[in-house]
Structure 1
């Protein structure tokens, strides 16, 4: 130790202690217990944090500025050109740096300077495969933590960052490119990211989203047509996300891609199989597909067109056809509401859609043709059945009408009427049949059951329901139609009855014909189908509560029942609300009571959305119609309110379902006030 240092050490009171001989230390006796001694104030630096270790009289201080001081220290050494111990030679440029800093910033340099590599002990290292301009930005980032990016420089910087494995700079470059991407540079950006095999999470997804959103305009740019390979084009055409443009525009874009290079014509048979011709219109086929040069050139294209024309011709069969060519392009379903009643007035209006982000829209186009009592979904086609309609006398009467809605074209089609008018009945879809069970008119209640053959567009009677009933609810589960509750001749019912079509002899039969047969089947037991010897109906365990005008839905292999009304048919026609919720397990044939709705209601709609069950609108027990939406979580057995915005109007008797719509149809919506 130098004399100056020793003198300084002595002045601090430590020098004498250091020179004392062993055994000469003086120990001062404590005059009071340690706990009673006054504690001295501890001065803690503002930039530090004290951590007391339990079980020992040791205190650890954590610096809050240490990382910054290390970085600033390296920057100061770099700027003053001190302790630089390596020179990197790139394109005749010399970059001096500190090995320690390079190793902490880059895995590439860490391995170079710590593993058994020849560069570990070299002062000068030649680097190839990157540019001096690009590495200059990288070196500055490693010392200063800032990066300047522009379209002229981003390629060289990305190349250098990938070379030295500087992940953060790679992510910055990707974010910059995605923020700057447009129609003019899309091909350049895609080629750049592909050339360097950038594997940053989320980059390819954002790139695909941009391309899908702008697919048709991009296909009009020669640079993009040159870049787009057959494999990529097929991948995009096979995606359901490509739903913003009508199918005929996608076909015309494919034609442009083929015409861009005559050598691509040999891929025509392959690429046309990714076009969904059944989503076009017959006019599109005749005017724009059959007139193109590729129709004469490609045998596969002619076959696809023939299949589409056959699909258009066989209108009744369309809901049962499940092929790639007619599958709608849609990623997620929309909650669709077919309006019912406002008070006692019929609402003959357009379809309401609850779209993300939780906003109500009204779909432009044709109006809902009637106030339906029942809704049936068959492969994304919606059938509206029966209900009430305004008669010539100005009064509401039960209706036998059936309409089919096609979201592909946003169009309605009148189908064959039911054999008898029905209101307050129940329906269910099993196979190619839609079953309509019981119901009533203004004058009578009946228990007849009939089914609609979708392929034949024809109704026929089947085994009738055991009793006269209306106001009941029906849902299909595991190929069987469950009927719950309703009003019989005596009172509101707890009854649960299941229809099993597998018990029909011969699997079906003819229907009743003639007015007398129809009347007998609707008002009395009637005759069964020819060859039917056993009833298709079977009683199951009753619900815990009698109810009518409730709603039932199947979810995860169980039946959920919500709300309704308990009616006692006496002279005064007393009624009482039933806000309870029940679930039925077909495996055990048992009903379990769940949490009741916060506000009981009847005539409401139900739908499943995001693993929750939505209850919409209806008539509340305080006598007011509702526009609110309740959500029920089956896993937690809890109700929530205000998860979704209120409906634009207060509705009763509404029908709700989930349907897939193509984006080009959803563009024709008007936001509801």
Structure 2
């Protein structure tokens, strides 16, 4: 049996189309004429049928048009039909923003799916503030799912500019796109009250709608983000706001505003900010350890840029703790730093029990119930939306001494009060805490009850008669007892603990001769040394990201016998055990405290 080869020529296919295109341009061997808008297009029946499901059905055996010499297509424009015919004959599709609606109409009507895919990609690649509303309407009309999703996302991200310059385009938006935009979790720079007004204006332009559709649209708004006075005024501005469903949502929003201290643990979608949840907030700290600033910095880990939110700390604080619960920021305890009188050369510090809560929805601070004890250099941890304050120390008002405490307390947000918890095994300050599997872990620190206060920055509150601890304690919320765990390999003071990928990481503290970090496995109750930092630091801010990576901001280190305030922002990849500098702070910073908090742009 003879062998044979099967070979393919791509030039033959190209030449075949070129030949048909030449015959068409010369109007030779054409056996059908298509008409649109008074313009005739001589074509070849066989090529049309082989390229389009519409023409395949039109020229079938049992249709009237199969032998017709001329076929009218009144629903199409000459521009759209010409572009699709050029595509069928050459494989090239000519599109512009002005021609796009006509080309899409022709491609959809003639069922040329390849041309529809090309148009969809053209729209997705060219989305911007000027065309996103128009493209959303086109994509919704022609069932272009990917382009519609991309256009809706663009509208949400560009809403601030659209409200200022293209409100008319927003009022002409299709209802599916408007609902998708109102479902978005991020709409930068836009207050919810503006979205409510836009939606009511849209209903005025496009209504009246059936009750079901109107309710579906309005229920996507987040009334909990609107001040009570504005809610009352808006509820009277349009009859669509008076339906039973929407009135019940407005009532729940007003009840939410009256919850006071319980607001953080009663969050719902209606009261959740439309903002990135991964913004890092750097609270307090400054270019000097003795004089902290009241400025707050926000860090975007995606763009790696810093911004200065409008919120300013109500006090100058150091050695405090910060955390976030339900989208609220809590600043707890610490040392309030005040200017000394004429006889005092140095700032005066007073340990405080005050707790401040910041609401980014309305950019306001509120002083909530104070802790039962004054605390600085303590640890705080959030477990199941409950804030725990653990250990610490406070200055004695009548002497130049401080006292460490073993007490633990937790914040009952429903009652708006602090409650006593199970005390530590002994007084402790300068320790760190982290939560893993609903257990609180406490490591290191300086045990003891009291000592003298010294003045140097690097040795403040240091008692040479006691040693820094390597011990690790854990507290089970169910068993309600403190237990000892495997000790760290390094004694640490004023260090940081972080949880990532099911492990606890211990980072550098003060007085450490090396730059080692270590990881704790709770299953094996074992610590493992990891890759050290090239340069040690202390008194830095640290944030644990959703990705599991750790970010370290600023801090202090010793260089040639002098203390240096740092500007670096370091990232530790916990999976790869790798450190790198990703950017720098706007200014040197030490003593800052970090937490993740959604913030409006």
- Aligned partner (choices 470, 478, 486) of residue 502 of structure 1: 478
Name the counterpart of 1:403: 356
Name the counterpart of 2:34: 89
- Aligned partner (choices 123, 141, 147) of residue 195 of structure 1: 141
1:165-223 Cα deviation digits (max 9, x unpaired): 2524652476369858777x876654433332234x34432244226633884999678
* Alignment check: 8 A CA contact 2:289 2:591 kept: no
**Structure 1: segments with no counterpart, 5+ residues:** 1-60, 505-535, 566-574, 667-673
- Aligned partner (choices 583, 592, 596) of residue 658 of structure 1: 596
Question: Structure 1 residues 486, 114: CA separation in 2 closer, same or farther (over 3 Å shift)?
Answer: farther
Name the counterpart of 1:559: 504
- Aligned partner (choices 548, 551, 556) of residue 619 of structure 1: 556
Question: Structure 1 residues 310, 192: CA separation in 2 closer, same or farther (over 3 Å shift)?
Answer: closer
- Aligned partner (choices 366, 374, 377) of residue 321 of structure 2: 374
- Aligned partner (choices 584, 593, 600) of residue 646 of structure 1: 584
* Alignment check: 8 A CA contact 1:86 1:122 kept: no
1:361 to 2:307 alignment: yes
**Structure 2: segments with no counterpart, 5+ residues:** 1-6, 341-346, 396-400, 449-465
1:88-119 Cα deviation digits (max 9, x unpaired): 5345834235957995xx46599789999999
Question: Structure 1 residues 473, 261: CA separation in 2 closer, same or farther (over 3 Å shift)?
Answer: same
Name the counterpart of 1:586: 522
1:343-392 Cα deviation digits (max 9, x unpaired): 33323232211224221111124345332421122122121112222246
- Aligned partner (choices 310, 320, 334) of residue 387 of structure 1: 334
Question: Structure 1 residues 182, 637: CA separation in 2 closer, same or farther (over 3 Å shift)?
Answer: closer
* Alignment check: 8 A CA contact 1:615 1:629 kept: yes
Question: Structure 1 residues 151, 629: CA separation in 2 closer, same or farther (over 3 Å shift)?
Answer: closer
* Alignment check: 8 A CA contact 1:289 1:295 kept: no
TM-score between both structures, scaled by the size of structure 2: 0.79
Name the counterpart of 1:282: 228
* Alignment check: 8 A CA contact 1:85 1:123 kept: no
| DSSP 3-state at the match of 2:428 | coil
* Alignment check: 8 A CA contact 1:351 1:368 kept: no
Question: Structure 1 residues 365, 636: CA separation in 2 closer, same or farther (over 3 Å shift)?
Answer: closer
| DSSP 3-state at the match of 1:316 | helix
| DSSP 3-state at the match of 1:429 | strand
| DSSP 3-state at the match of 1:548 | coil
Matches within 5 A, 1:82-481: 84=29, 87-91=32-36, 93-97=40-44, 106=51, 108=53, 126=71, 130-143=76-89, 147-149=93-95, 153-162=99-108, 163-165=110-112, 167-168=114-115, 170-172=117-119, 175=122, 179=126, 189-199=135-145, 201-210=146-155, 213-214=158-159, 217=163, 225=171, 228-229=174-175, 233-242=178-187, 244-260=189-205, 263-264=208-209, 266-267=211-212, 271-286=217-232, 288-292=233-237, 294=239, 297-355=242-300, 356-367=302-313, 369-372=315-318, 373-391=320-338, 393=340, 394-431=347-384, 433-442=386-395, 443=401, 444-481=403-440
| DSSP 3-state at the match of 1:447 | coil
Q: Distance in 1 between matches of 2:31 and 2:577?
A: 66
| DSSP 3-state at the match of 1:274 | coil
* Greater Cα offset, 241-250 or 319-328: 241-250
* Alignment check: 8 A CA contact 1:240 1:330 kept: yes
TM-score between both structures, scaled by the size of structure 1: 0.72
Q: Report how far residue 297 of structure 1 moved.
A: 3.7
Name the counterpart of 1:23: none
- For the aligned residue pairs, the C-alpha RMSD in angstroms reads 4.0
| DSSP 3-state at the match of 2:317 | coil
* Alignment check: 8 A CA contact 1:403 1:413 kept: yes
| DSSP 3-state at the match of 1:89 | strand
Q: Distance in 2 between matches of 1:432 and 1:169?
A: 50
Question: Structure 1 residues 613, 227: CA separation in 2 closer, same or farther (over 3 Å shift)?
Answer: closer
Q: Report how far residue 471 of structure 1 moved.
A: 1.2
Q: How many residues align?
A: 555
